[in-house]
Chains A and B, each alone.
Chain A
Amino acid sequence: MADLLTGASGSVSAETLDLARLQFALTAGGHFLFVTLTLGLATIVACVQTRATISGRPLQARMVRFWGQLYVINYAVGIVTGIVMEFQFGLSWSGLTHDVGNVLGASLAVETIVAFFVESTFLGLWIFGWNRFGKWVHLALIWVVTLTAYLSAYWILVANGFLNHPVGHRMEDGRAVLDDVGALLTNPSALLAFGHILAGSLLTAGFFMAGVSAYHLFRRTPEWEFFGRSLRIGVFVSLPALVVTAGFGGVQLASLADLQPMKSAVFQQKTAEIAQLQTDLAARFGPGNYVPSEAWTRGGALVMLIAFALMMYLCVAGTVLGCFRKVVFRFRLWHVVLMASVPLPYLAMISGWVFREAGRQPWVVYGVLRTRDAVSEVSPTAMRTSLIAFTTLFVLLAVVNARLLWRHARRGPVESGLGHDERAARDDRTDGDEPGPADPLPATRY
């Protein structure tokens, strides 16, 4: 702790810094986990809706409504954590906007206006426009939502890539100025992470889909055909997604030796190299501790690699087992394993994130700006109050989200709101009331 106090910005207390870091870690980490499922599930829903639109088969249209409902529930929590995160840059890290705002701010601005604005408007059209548009228009809506979500992820990773490996800028009077847009947009630290996270989110969605389907097959609910197909989609998406995720991960790990040698040395526990780098960095940037926490950095990486190994076995076995019809419906031990392995991709994603973000400390912008110099001059009391408020709110939302996902997943494809045809309800009013929650989910009428 002592070295935190010797920074240039002596006016901000170490307590504020720790609280601000904890707050950002919880917000960003929480947001990351929700978005992971959202991004992957959106892709799968868009693909299933494409097949449903082309084939016109009721079963596939029902799959769109069921998985789309889970996607929307999860999206809602992702968006509110994301909103808070966007404002936290200015709230808690005004040093960041002051020193590197010219570069970081631009990518965040493009993300909000070019990607997120379009995504939100089209999601509103998709959710509320069910049965109002032609089927091809409605299909186009979900694809716009999915592709702008990808665009959003790309721009956020341009911002994050800049924090990890600042390129495309030059320093003028201690402030970064945009110098080379091409270098900023093709930053390897952004592009590799983009591929890694896209594939990782598909993997998360694949495991989620397989786990939920396995529950219904295990319980032998009547919707065996529905969940047999869904389980296969989940399982068959998982293996390629895992291979691509691991591929991008491996390249990123290899590139660390050049981009962030200290993180690489701490991960590999090369004591001599760590000492050498510490001496070099101290000579370059002045006295201070330049070694990130080994527990978080190495720990995060190891948990991620173990989760990866487990998923590798599961995915290979799953791809083989998924080819046999009888196995899909009757192998109950496999169903249990699939249900139990839903958290694995989440574990891998969050520990990989910890490795990436904890491993670049003490820098918020690698080699440019230290975390302690970026924190806003806010009193510890204000920071603590906001931390408690946001954390309580997010924990509550995470619990509600998990419970709602679980309850909707468990009930299976029954009438639950999304894609409900309001005109039908009004036409049928003579023969009774609104469709009950237990009525089986009808296919969409376009």
Chain B
Amino acid sequence: METLAIVLLGFFVAGYFVLGGADIGTGMMLPYLGRDEAERRIVIASFAPFFLGNEVWLVATAGVLIGCFPELEGELLSGQFVVVVPLLIGWVVRDSGLWLRGRAPGGSSVWRALCDGAVVCGSWAVALSWGRLLTALFSGSPGTPAPGPAAVLTALAVAACFAVHGLGFAAVRLTGAPYERARQLMGRTRPAQSLALTAVLMAALPLLAGRLLPLYESAADGATLALLVPVVLVITPLLVAVQAWLWRTFRHRVTGPSYL
């Protein structure tokens, strides 16, 4: 049961890094990809239908963590308090920017610039916080935030992974000038290849970082796992199917703005 719970945790966290990482990365590159308001709106439209479905992978990860490894969840989050709080704030700021961007009646350009700024800053804050959190996990001290210049460097490297992943996603989804800009940075690599490569890298990041966590030792009681793990195992293929439907529905490159 413990092994199955660990597999589920790994599945959801890898799913978040691959899918959520793509829209976070594109959000980070928003000022580069979209030079004016209309272009930025198109760039946002490239991940608009997915971002809500992407971020729930992290919510689900937190759910598996608190359900199957409650003690670890408490220790990890309270130990990493100063890293997780900026991550959450970045997340909230970014989501607010996305949700509210198109909702100002009358179309005030100051409002949209403000929201674009929130999306960019929020995306960077989330990526950098993940970098710092993963550094602490890599160094084998999940209970304390990673200190020193090494942490800064690793955090920047992880954020760069997010950005490159987002760039690949943008190249696969966009058309016109933003597409050309995404291609420019990628050199001669084919967008699909680059995206596949960064996807593997993104999935590997949290899995490698998490291998040092004391998961077996901190698993929930057998009775809880016996209830929870089968339920999650049964529902997961359904969730994947629904997400696949979502991706299939909006699989075409974006050519115009969306609701956001």
Closest to B231 in A: A110
Contact with B along A80-94 (1 / 0, CB 8 A): 100110110111111
Q: Is the CB of A393 within 8 A of B56?
A: no
Contact A122 B242 (CB under 8 A): yes
B239 touches A118 (CB 8 A): yes
Q: By the criterion CB–CB under 8 Å, are A93 and B74 in contact? A: yes
Chain B, interface SS category: helix
A400 to chain B: closest residue by CB: B100
Most chain A Cβ neighbours within 10 Å, of B60, B74, B96, B239: B74
| B85 close to A389 (CB less than 8 A) | yes
Contact between A83 and B88 (Cβ–Cβ < 8 Å)?
yes
Structural contact, A94 and B227, CB atoms closer than 8 A: no
Within 8 A of B (CB), among A147-191: 172, 175, 177-179, 181
**Are the C-beta atoms of B95 and A90 separated by less than 8 Å?**
no
Within 8 A of B (CB), among A77-124: 77, 79-80, 83-84, 86-87, 89-98, 101-106, 108-114, 116-118, 120-124
Whether B243 pairs with A113 at a CB distance below 8 angstroms is: no
A408–B85 CB distance below 8 A: no
Contact for B81 among A116, A125, A378, A404, CB less than 8 A: A378
B216-260 interface code vs A (CB 8 A; 1 in, 0 out):
000011011001100110011011001101100110000011110
Give the contacting residue for B50; candidates A76, A94, A124; CB below 8 A.
A124
Partner of A109, one of B50, B63, B93, B103: B63
A117 in complex: contacting residue of B50, B75, B239, CB < 8 Å: B239
Q: Decide: A378 near B92, CB < 8 A? Known: A87-B62, A98-B71, A404-B104.
A: no
- Indicate whether A229 reaches chain B with its CB closer than 8 angstroms: no
How long is the Cα–Cα vector from A397 to B94 in the complex, in angstroms? 12
**Residue B91, interface by CB 8 Å:** yes
The residue from B55, B102, B107, B223 contacting A102, defined by CB atoms under 8 A apart: B223
CB within 8 Å for A83 and B71 given contacts A91-B77, A129-B249: no
In this assembly, does B67 line the interface, its C-beta being within 8 Å of a C-beta of chain A?
A: yes
| A404 closest partner in B (C-beta) | B103
- Which residues of B sit under 8 angstroms from A84, Cβ to Cβ? 88, 92
Bound-state Cα–Cα, A102 to B67, Å: 7
Instruction: With both chains docked as a complex, state the minimum distance between the C-beta of A298 and any C-beta of chain B, in angstroms.
Output: 33
In the complex, chain B residues whose CB is within 8 Å of the CB of A125: 49, 245-246, 249
Q: Are B73 and A90 in contact (CB under 8 A)?
A: yes
Task: State the CA gap A121–B122 with chains docked (Å).
Answer: 22
* CB of B171 closer than 8 Å to a CB of A: no
Chain B residues 94-150 with CB under 8 Å of chain A are 95-96, 99-100, 102-107
**Contact for A376 among B64, B81, B257, CB less than 8 A:** B81
- Is there contact, CB below 8 Å, between B53 and A121? yes
Which residues on A sit within 8 Å (CB–CB) of B103?
Answer: 73, 404, 408, 416-417
| B96/A80 in contact, CB under 8 A | yes
Q: Does A223 count as interface, using CB distance less than 8 angstroms? A: no
A390 contacts B63, CB within 8 Å?
A: no
Q: Which of B228, B243, B256 touches A422 (beta carbons < 8 Å)? A: B256
- What sequence of 0s and 1s flags, for each residue 56-92 of chain B, a beta carbon within 8 Å of any chain A beta carbon? 1001101111111011011111100110110011011
**Within the complex, what minimum Cβ distance (angstroms) separates B235 from chain A?**
5
- Enumerate chain B residues within 8 angstroms of A320, measured Cβ to Cβ: none
Task: State A172–B259 Cα separation when bound (angstroms).
Answer: 52
Report which of B55, B70, B231 forms a contact with A97, defined as CB distance below 8 A. B70
Evaluate contact between B224 and A105: CB separation under 8 angstroms. yes
Interface membership of B30, Cβ < 8 A: no
Are B89's CB and A390's CB within 8 A? Answer: yes
The CA of A113 and the CA of B66, in the complex, are separated in Å by 12
- Interface status of A386 (Cβ within 8 A of chain B): yes
Kindly report which residue of chain B lies nearest to residue A414, judged by CB atoms: B105
How far is it, in angstroms, between the C-alpha of A13 and the C-alpha of B73 when the chains are bound? 22
B48 within 8 A of A: yes
Query: CB distance B259 to A97 under 8 Å?
Result: no
**Distance between A324 CB and nearest chain B CB, rounded to angstroms:** 34
Specify which chain B residues have a CB less than 8 angstroms from the CB of A103 in the assembled complex.
224
Residue of A nearest to B104 (CB): A404
CA distance A89 to B93 in the complex (A): 21
Query: Are A101 and B105 neighbours in the complex by a CB distance under 8 Å?
Result: no
What 0/1 readout, one digit per residue, does chain A (177-209) give for beta carbons within 8 Å of chain B?
111010000000000000000000000000000
- Give A90 to B78 CA distance when docked, in angstroms: 6
A67, chain B: closest CB distance, angstroms = 15
A90-B77, A114-B235, A378-B81 are known contacts. Are A422 and B96 too (CB-CB below 8 A)? no
- Answer whether A417 and B100 are a contact pair too, CB < 8 Å, given A121-B242, A129-B249, A425-B256: no
User: What are 22 A-B residue pairs whose CB atoms fall within 8 Å in the complex?
Assistant: A73-B99, A80-B95, A80-B96, A90-B65, A90-B66, A91-B81, A101-B71, A105-B68, A106-B220, A106-B224, A106-B228, A108-B67, A112-B56, A118-B238, A118-B239, A121-B239, A121-B242, A122-B242, A386-B85, A400-B100, A422-B257, A437-B105
Q: Which residues of B contact A (CB under 8 A)?
A: 48-53, 55-56, 59-60, 62-68, 70-71, 73-78, 81-82, 84-85, 88-89, 91-93, 95-96, 99-100, 102-107, 220-221, 223-224, 227-228, 231-232, 235-236, 238-239, 242-243, 245-246, 249-250, 256-259
Beyond the given A94-B75, A111-B63, please list 16 additional residue pairs across the A-B interface where CB-CB is below 8 A.
Answer: A83-B55, A91-B85, A92-B78, A95-B74, A105-B66, A105-B70, A106-B67, A110-B67, A110-B228, A120-B56, A123-B52, A124-B53, A127-B259, A378-B81, A400-B96, A411-B105
Q: Across the A-B interface, give the 9 residue pairs with the lowest CB-CB distance, nearest first.
A: A101-B70, A109-B67, A94-B74, A112-B63, A90-B77, A97-B74, A76-B99, A376-B78, A128-B49
